[in-house]
Structure 1
């Protein structure tokens, strides 16, 4: 191992240790759930976390979700993760799922279904094992790809944040580490990661961005495009934190009778109204984050109308404007005496027993 790489390895481990310390996780009584697919990135993170545990860092539990998409290859990945952990006395939990069936049932792409199932497994296991954080191996190249992908979809300022080192649940110690450094660690330590052939295919949008669009932008646009996108995400994150604090105070000021006062909202800048509406949606729906721009605009347009009016929102919710107050109401069904189903809307300002 050359001196140059030895220095980079020390700096990489120090970077991970510093992030653990910054968020209160570098202690032997803390527990971190390390998600490991068996691929290069997650294997390096798991290996570093194992070394840091021996140096007084947190307890580590490895989590692997065997999605079954690639048949025998998926099972081989699970076996490889289990063997790595067994050789190093790392507790390991492996769950096998049927992502293909889940995708068909919920009408999702395989990529989306795999992500939903994997995160569901990780969150369940975190609670079961009483872990303080879920460690994910996203790195700087992943962040740049995600920012660019969201830009292509027309995301707003908050969407440019893409990923955070710590979001309250997920810890990403490698988020500002480039892929080349991670691959160098693999070679130097003679680790043997699994290779997912689907990552080489061009049919998924992320793979097209990784293998075609980003290299093209690097050649003909900005040779430091990755660093520029990461910097954009960091700056967006700082501004988003400030604006979220501001929007939270405005949400409290506008709150009235279980809803929002239209007269208060109409004193705010349009951009702040959108943020307040998103916070209100997340608060009432217990954390739902899938309010689209179109849904925001539907609610915002209600604020310009008079009388009683409403608009439809995701998951059976509706926004209803009445007497100058905007409320969110969940669509319910009840059966009348004639046996017909009738839709009803229950205001969220009271508690109800559905019988």
Structure 2
């Protein structure tokens, strides 16, 4: 089937746009988005819609990015489509915020697309995700661990702010899109970063999907079908949960309250969904709240559990059981920010230290030649004392702190380590770090040690450290 007809049919079936709709097309310069621009421009020429192209240069690949911007502008002009472009300094923004590059790029890119939509009065932003992207997304989520919502993959339509994000190419395969570009002489750029395997999605596309496809040549189609089935069932479940939310939850601007019996009386699947919906009502930053945290809150409503209880759920939310009520409420921002810096020094003869602000206790044990205990957990570490500069320092995190991670090339931000390990934001501000007198971060207890002062079989002076959190 002609892809342009397929795009129009998908738009009609899934209600992605109506006659006369004004649409912002996000165009990166790759084959997918350039094909999307070509198809939408054809519909615009027939008077069915109007289109504005929008392109963002993130500032990562200097020469490539500049070429992509010019390619998009030139092709949009050839098609008679207005084109808006932005050049961003993402590296500086990443350094300032501590976000990872992909999250920062997405945040800034979508902010710009919304800005263009508002400027032109557009009701929709069209994105060029296709069937291969869908398969990759579902497999990524399966590997990382997901529920029914994650299996639904990328949605063809989703409201964000006052605009609908639409993906009219989700049924199209990459190979068909490339063929379409060839047939219609559509120029496009190739992003060199798509071959860099330190991005998980690239590993999925380049290595894992091809390997698994040996056992099921139709794997991509199977994953796409799974997303369709899961998406429909997830949508139905979400509607049931929204009805329960309206029926059972007492709302205020910063708080949600549910009767314990009402929550525990629901099917377990609806309990989990209702808690997630409550968290989403209170915060837009709930992605990092884990399944284990959801379960802890769900089980707290059981009859045999303590009648008073509380936990920091993450995303600036606290959950508390108060007798027959479960309460979720936003923690005042002042409480999140008012964390005093602390710092303790430990000399060569130091034996024990309690860091009062965080409640952690450190034991320092000097061992002689021949004594080489193996740390029993990430809460124990051994160092070659002859390579340490004293006094050692136990303190909380400061902006820009980095660790030379054992087993990895280069250093990594402590903030990123906390995010990777799902350390709650409230805990991060007080979490203890171990430095030497030269400012080298030696150890993040319970997470990772650095590559400095490693012990060998011939090490004569070993410092064994044990940390525990009261």
* TM-score range normalised by the length of the shorter chain: 0.7 to 0.9
| Aligned residue number for residue 244 of structure 1 | 238
Alpha-carbon distance change, 333 to 106 in structure 1, aligned in 2, over 3 angstroms: closer
Q: Which consecutive aligned stretches of 4+ in structure 1 deviate over 6 angstroms post-superposition?
A: none
Q: CA deviation at 1:95?
A: 1.2
| Aligned residue number for residue 206 of structure 1 | 201
Preserved contact between residue 245 and residue 274 of structure 2 (Cα < 8 Å): yes
| Distance in 2, Cα, partners of 1:48 & 1:118 | 22
- Where do residues 136-175 of structure 1 align in structure 2 (5 Å cutoff)? 136-168=127-159, 169-175=164-170
| Aligned residue number for residue 446 of structure 2 | none
Indicate the larger mover: 128-137 or 149-158.
128-137
Indicate the larger mover: 318-327 or 261-270.
318-327
| Distance in 2, Cα, partners of 1:132 & 1:19 | 18
| Distance in 1, Cα, partners of 2:205 & 2:258 | 43
| Aligned residue number for residue 320 of structure 1 | 320
- Where do residues 110-149 of structure 1 align in structure 2 (5 Å cutoff)? 110-149=101-140
Greater CA radius of gyration, 1 or 2? 2
Q: CA deviation at 1:215?
A: 0.6
Deviations 1:141-164 (CA, angstroms, capped at 9, x unpaired): 000000000000011111111111
Listed as ranges, the gaps of 5+ residues in structure 2 are: 341-470
| Distance in 2, Cα, partners of 1:340 & 1:222 | 54
Q: CA deviation at 1:26?
A: 4.0
| Distance in 2, Cα, partners of 1:187 & 1:20 | 23
| Distance in 2, Cα, partners of 1:314 & 1:272 | 21
| Aligned residue number for residue 35 of structure 2 | 44
- Three-state SS of the structure 2 residue aligned to 1:313 is strand
Deviations 1:304-339 (CA, angstroms, capped at 9, x unpaired): 33333211122321112223222222222659xxx9
Q: CA deviation at 1:123?
A: 2.2
Richer in helix (by share): 1
- Three-state SS of the structure 2 residue aligned to 1:318 is strand
- How many residues align? The count is 327
Deviations 1:14-52 (CA, angstroms, capped at 9, x unpaired): 121123334162422x11110000100000000000001
| Distance in 1, Cα, partners of 2:288 & 2:158 | 17
Indicate the larger mover: 43-52 or 295-304.
295-304
| Distance in 1, Cα, partners of 2:276 & 2:134 | 24
Alpha-carbon distance change, 275 to 333 in structure 1, aligned in 2, over 3 angstroms: closer
| Aligned residue number for residue 295 of structure 1 | 293
Preserved contact between residue 16 and residue 157 of structure 2 (Cα < 8 Å): no
Q: CA deviation at 1:209?
A: 0.7
TM-score (structure 2 length as normaliser): 0.66
Listed as ranges, the gaps of 5+ residues in structure 1 are: 1-7, 342-355
Indicate the larger mover: 320-329 or 186-195.
320-329
Preserved contact between residue 283 and residue 316 of structure 2 (Cα < 8 Å): no
TM-score (structure 1 length as normaliser): 0.87
1:216 and 2:216 matched: no
Q: CA deviation at 1:56?
A: 2.6
| Aligned residue number for residue 279 of structure 2 | 281
| Distance in 2, Cα, partners of 1:299 & 1:155 | 18
Preserved contact between residue 278 and residue 291 of structure 1 (Cα < 8 Å): no
| Aligned residue number for residue 399 of structure 2 | none
| Aligned residue number for residue 94 of structure 1 | 85
